[in-house]
Amino acid sequence: MTNSMAGTPAAPVRRRGRPPGKRDGEARRERLLEAAIRLIGERGLAAATTRAIAEAAGMTQAMVHYSFPGKQALLDAVLERVHAATRQALQEATREAPDLDAALAALAEAYWRHVRADRALQKVQYELTLAALHPNGDAALARRQYQGYVAMLGEVLAEAAGTSRDDADLQCLAGTAVALMDGLILQLLAGEDEDAVKARLDTGLALLRGTLVETKG
């Protein structure tokens, strides 16, 4: 088709809502993920419809479907984003740890800062985990989430200890540490005094370090 006035090809018509390129598509996904995390953290999972997420991101609902094959795919990506943020915090905390004992202490402090910095993000994690365990949800997603946390923690502890990441004692220690933090985060979200929860974290850390000494012995 040509422009009858100028005799030059007319500019192609872009369909409304269709991503024009890979870079724009990635940026769109990022905006939608951030909007979903913010919405779930502030108003809960039930309020996070695709329409509400699109509005929070300043997009049309069609944009959501162009970026994700379905709402569950979007929620899966949100949970992976939460997981990635935790992994980064743990890896950075232990980068300079000289040994396993120091790594445990650094992990506890770093994760406590991570939790306090964004409590809404922790709510998002629990909302999505419980949704995944619902009969109509994806239980495998919740299982992968916690297996991932334990494996991630076990990996950074093994690196600090200079041993294999498959060490059974370290994997048990990692799983116990995840359970400890899970309980303390829920106490904090439930309104417990922050100083009291931090004191319990210190007590839990001391117990873990004592177990570590016994295991070495």
What pLDDT is attached to residue 4? 43
In angstroms, rounded to a whole number, what is the distance separating the alpha carbons of residues 180 and 40? 24
The CATH number that applies at residue 25 is 1.10.10
1 within domain boundaries = no
Do residues 26 and 131 both lie within one domain?
Answer: no
197 within domain boundaries = yes
- Dump pLDDT digits (tens) for 195-212: 999 999 999 999 988 877
* Angle at the Cα of 49 from the Cα atoms of 43 and 50, rounded to 5 degrees: 130
Would you say 141 and 76 are in contact if contact means Cβ atoms under 8 Å apart? Answer: yes
- Dump pLDDT digits (tens) for 158-183: 888 887 767 888 889 899 999 999 99
Do residues 159 and 193 both lie within one domain?
Answer: yes
In angstroms, rounded to a whole number, what is the distance separating the alpha carbons of residues 121 and 204? 23
What pLDDT is attached to residue 13? 44
| pLDDT, tens digit only, all 217 positions of the chain | 444 444 444 444 444 444 455 677 889 999 999 999 999 988 988 899 999 999 999 999 999 989 999 888 898 888 888 888 888 887 888 888 888 888 888 888 988 998 898 888 888 888 888 888 888 777 887 888 888 888 888 888 888 888 776 788 888 989 999 999 999 999 999 999 999 999 999 999 999 888 776 555 5
What pLDDT is attached to residue 9? 47
What pLDDT is attached to residue 62? 92
The CATH number that applies at residue 142 is 1.10.357.10
Total structural domains within the chain:
2
9 within domain boundaries = no
What pLDDT is attached to residue 36? 94
88 within domain boundaries = yes
pTM of the model: 0.75
Do residues 102 and 164 both lie within one domain?
Answer: yes
Do residues 102 and 121 both lie within one domain?
Answer: yes
